[in-house]
Amino acid sequence: MNLPNKLSLARVIMVPLFVAVIVLPESLVPDTWSRILGAAIFILTSFTDMLDGMIARKCNMITDFGKFIDPLADKFMVFGAMLAILYKFDYLRPVFIWVALIVIFRELAVTSMRMIVASNAGVVVAAAWLGKVKTVTQIICIVVILLEPVIIPETAAIYSWHLFSWITMAVMTIMTIWSGVNYMKAYWKFLDPTK
């Protein structure tokens, strides 16, 4: 259990804590504090995601367990955040449910494709730059949704519009679809539908 694996496990453990902070009733955690604490936890988990991969590669600490737990922790982190947002923020729900479905379907499709290509063709599907940009847009979107009402004063004309949340949602959705299609086009030749 090296340091990168411990960081990945810590990320998995922080997901339920993040979800609890977001979904607990306002009588236990006021909305502003829920958003601030949730954003802090999510930013910390996102930072450990970058850190564990960097340490594993630099210090040659790549393990089979790390290959399993790191992408799993990433999915838990994003899926947990999206489910918590869907539950708590009803003003986003009619659109965000479709955004969340696109993200979840893309993540599951690409993960499944990676496993099949790796096992059948022996090809490791590396993270492409589009996939990395997609991950950054997911992190930014979730943090913006959490913090926008805290940062923008209630007296501002755009306070009730949630403008930055909608913009980052749109960018995240575009990057999620684009990167998913890019992966499928690049590795479809390894997926033989006759087998």
Query: Tell me, what's the pLDDT at 112?
Result: 84
pLDDT at 101: 96
Mark out the alpha helices in the chain (DSSP H runs): 3-23, 31-58, 64-88, 93-121, 129-151, 163-187
- List, for residues 143-189, the tens digit of each pLDDT value: 999 999 999 988 887 888 999 999 999 999 999 999 999 988 887 87
The label of the residue with tokens 């979840």 reads: 104
Q: What is the 3-state secondary structure (H, E, C) of 39-50?
A: HHHHHHHHHHHH
Q: Is the pTM of this model over 0.95?
A: no
Average pLDDT per 10 consecutive residues for the chain, totaling 195 residues: 84 93 92 95 90 83 78 89 94 95 93 78 69 92 95 83 94 96 83 67
pLDDT at 59: 85
What's the DSSP call for residue 5? H
Q: Where are the beta strands (DSSP E) in 64-132?
A: none
What is the C-alpha separation between 108 and 125, in angstroms, rounded? 14
- What is the Cα gyration radius of the chain? 18
126-132's contacts with Cβ under 8 Å and 24+ in sequence apart are: 128/179, 128/182, 128/183, 128/186, 130/175, 130/178, 130/179, 130/182, 131/179, 131/183
The distance between the two most distant Cα atoms of the chain, rounded to a whole number of Å, is 61
